Copies of this chain bind each other. A is one copy, B any other.
Amino acid sequence: MSSLRVAARLRPIASRLASKSSLRPYATSSAEQPFFTNEPSGPTVKTAIPGPESQKAIAELDKVFDTRSLNMLANYQKSFGNYIADPDGNVLLDVYAQIASIPVGYSNPALHAAAVSEQMASALINRPALGNFPSHDWASILETGILSVAPKGLNQVFTAMAGSDANETAYKAAFMYRRQHERGGADVEFSAEEISSAMNNQSPGAPQLSILSFKTAFHGRLFGSLSTTRSKPIHKLDIPAFDWPQATFPLLKYPLEEHAQENAKAEAESLADVERLITTHHLPPCAVVIEPIQSEGGDNHASPAFFQQLRALTQKHNVLLIVDEVQTGVGATGKFWAHDHWNLSTPPDMVTFSKKAQTAGYYFGNPALRPNKPYRQFNTWMGDPARAILFRAIIQEIERLDLVSNTAKVGEYLYNGIEDLAKRYPGEVQNLRGKGQGTFIAFDSPRRDEFLKKAKSVGVNIGGSGERAVRLRPMLIFQRHHADILLEALEKIIKS
């Protein structure tokens, strides 16, 4: 079945690859059932990309919309499953997936059914101010959707719009929590000095506190979240920032097994830096925010032991731990939440989400993280019920197709295939990472930007991260036959 779904022109080489390598445990099975029958059997590349139709449309769009970051113009009505189409009839296997934010495939039939439902129509056209006028079915939408996948130990949610405000509202909760503690509890009223100084943007009302983040981290682009983002200068230049601290991140060396001692040292140094900053920074951190895998910053991983010790450190110093799962959350790492890999003895204080959830917000468990008064954590929309209904349909689709198991299995298959490529082309595929992390796989390329550009010509849409990483972010419906096509394409790029 699998081989039938690989484009005919790609099959011979793909089969050769599969037969050559003993590292592909699933390659011998041809019984894989495709999840969707309306998906193309493989990529189609008809023109250079952008082709003539796309170029015309891009010129039109550029008159009113900044197109300098445009990667590819898409026709989503013609995009199905793992394949993205463009106006020139090109159809690419998409392992970038809207910067890791398409969970269950383009034009997914189950999502389509949710999209045209009466509940969705009402949510779209009667958008409530959720904090003031929630709908009678909002509790049910939360419980059967967003909250049904809440990380262990976290049973509350604050809904938001996108990753940046998910993080910023979590930061606000952390500041309010810290000040409430310093003030002596939820029942202690604000002082007159706090009230008047807050209105003047001065302490103590606007406190001299901070959020601690890590070098090469990415947490968003609004003013608070950007102050914790340390990925690239282009994200930060010319924008005022809070003088918040950044700890060293343990940039591991690969292969891990050959650098165990150095890597353990790097992690220990990072943790020491965290403790130093918590105890000495002139704006005391009230929370540490961290991504399970630094994504925009270059796919930087750390060990479960590192995260366990980080959790212990935050508890020792009564600082909150915010896990930013905006990019890692919702199944791609082979667990629903990437921090499930850590086996923490106590859950993080807050976990933020967005992207594949198609909505955003943060989970928390401690009731004291609900501010002591209403309207402290509030805005008009507080998320979007239409998007929450869609997330519920996504969760149901993930369960129906057992997609978290799928990413674990296919991820292993894909990782092994790339490992094989790395052995055969060691100069071209470096620092392969993401073993055991589902399809959340990356490697460094000495000519990364050229690599990504070339990928389109062989039928694959791939993204990058950091300065040198080729970042794979397939959807959760990425299967072995897609992996075969991808591996084939990677080798073509390398060889060319």
Contacts and interface: CB of A to CB of B under 8 A. Distances in A.
Contact of A162 (B84, B118, B381): B381
A166 B209 CA distance: 26
A69 B131 contact: yes
Contact of A172 (B200, B208, B239): B239
A376 B121 CA distance: 35
A72 B199 contact: no
Interface size class of A (residues with CB under 8 A): 35 or more
A491 to B, nearest CB: 25
Interface in A108-146: 108, 111-112, 114-116, 118, 120-129, 131-136, 138-139, 142-143
A214 B452 CA distance: 48
> Chain B CB within 10 Å — which of A61, A133, A374 has the most?
A133
Given A115-B120, A135-B75, A240-B209, A101 B127 contact: yes
A320 interface: no
A380 B429 CA distance: 27
A31 interface: no
Nearest to A101: B380
B224 A139 contact: no
A6 interface: no
B373 A68 contact: yes
B61 A376 contact: no
A233 B190 contact: yes
A395 to B, nearest CB: 14
A367 to B, nearest CB: 10
A61 B237 contact: no
A119 B453 CA distance: 30
B115 A101 contact: no
B198 A236 contact: yes
Interface string A194-209: 1100111110011111
A29 B477 CA distance: 62
Nearest to A381: B162
A78 B325 CA distance: 37
Contacts of A162: 161, 165, 379-381
B373 A234 contact: yes
Contacts of A75: 135-136
A397 to B, nearest CB: 11
Given A121-B115, A370-B66, A386-B124, A132 B238 contact: no
Nearest to A121: B115
Given A64-B143, A224-B224, A379-B221, A199 B233 contact: yes
A3 interface: no
A241 interface: yes
A57 B139 contact: yes
Given A175-B240, A201-B244, 5 more contacts: A76-B128, A76-B135, A101-B127, A194-B233, A238-B376
Interface of A: 54, 57, 60-61, 63-77, 79, 84, 86-87, 98-99, 101-102, 106-108, 111-112, 114-116, 118, 120-129, 131-136, 138-139, 142-143, 147, 155-158, 161-165, 168, 171-172, 175-176, 178-180, 190, 194-195, 198-202, 205-210, 220-225, 227, 230, 233-244, 246, 283, 354-355, 358, 370, 373-381, 384, 386, 390
